[in-house]
Amino acid sequence: MDFRQSVRQRFQLAVKPLTSRAAAAGISTDGLRLAVLAGAALVGLLLLTLPVILPGLHGVLFLLPGLLATRAIALTTADQLSEQASGRAADPALREVTGAAGDVLLYLPLALYPGVPAVPVVVLVVLGLLAEVAGLAPLTRGELRREDGPMNQGDRAIVFAIVGLILALDPGTAHWLPWLLLPAAALAALTLVLRLRAAPIGG
């Protein structure tokens, strides 16, 4: 078992009590995913508008890592609900669409944030979305969805959470962000290539 899988399993175990409470409250998987998407839309809107309305209020960027942590918990709960009888009307297409839309709503506003170099942000977001699409490609061959690679959705969330914290604590460091974002984009590109690689014939 690798380190990433070990951390994921520990996290899933920690979230299980919340899943039980959500099931008891009658919360549906799809309803939870839509609520997470609405939260992402609200935070993205605040990241776009507050710096214009209140210049210098960089504390708004703490919302990004906060929402990303909440989203990780909520989506893990949704996944666990979908595995239970209580996961009513779990739509796999909705899972993929809300995941991609949430990334766009949360991350792209950073490209317009004052002082932030836009190109590395956009490149990482686009490559990340392409990697997720590539992960769905095996389904067309009757195989399982691929989530391998060095820069998956959770990894990108960690990168952008770090970006949010850096900017919230010291916005003057924004010009250093390419040193974090461009290597992450390179890893996202590698993830894309790995996921597109077809399984050997007869394998």
- pLDDT for residue 199 is more than 60: no
Domain count, the chain: 1
Residue 202 lies in a domain: no
Task: Report whether 82 contacts 19 (CB < 8 A).
Answer: no
Name the residue with tokens 């899988």: 5
Phi, psi (rounded to 5 degrees) for 116? -85, 130
Residue 201 lies in a domain: no
What's the distance, CA 26 to chain centroid? 25
Q: Please give the C-alpha separations between residue 125 and each of 110, 111, 118, 171, in angstroms, as whole numbers.
A: 11, 10, 11, 21
- pLDDT for residue 92 is more than 70: yes
Residue 170 lies in a domain: yes
Residue 76 lies in a domain: yes
Task: Report whether 64 contacts 47 (CB < 8 A).
Answer: yes
Range of the domain at 172: 3-196
pLDDT tens, residue by residue, 22-75: 988 988 899 999 999 999 999 999 999 998 898 888 899 999 999 999 999 999
Residue 103 lies in a domain: yes
Residue 26 lies in a domain: yes
- pLDDT for residue 20 is more than 50: yes
- 173 vs 88, residue with greater confidence: 173
Residue 36 lies in a domain: yes
Mapped onto helix, strand or coil, the DSSP state of residue 105 is: helix
Residue 115 lies in a domain: yes
CATH of the domain at 119: 1.20.120.1760
pLDDT tens, residue by residue, 114-151: 999 999 999 999 999 999 999 998 888 888 888 899 99
User: What is the pLDDT, as a whole number, of residue 87?
Assistant: 44
Kindly report the pTM of this predicted structure. 0.92
Task: Report whether 106 contacts 125 (CB < 8 A).
Answer: no
- pLDDT for residue 100 is more than 80: yes
User: What is the pLDDT, as a whole number, of residue 8?
Assistant: 87
- 27 vs 189, residue with greater confidence: 189
What's the mean pLDDT when you consider all of the chain?
Answer: 90
| DSSP tag of 150 | S
pLDDT tens, residue by residue, 148-170: 999 999 999 999 999 999 999 99
Distance CA 21, CA 32 (A): 13
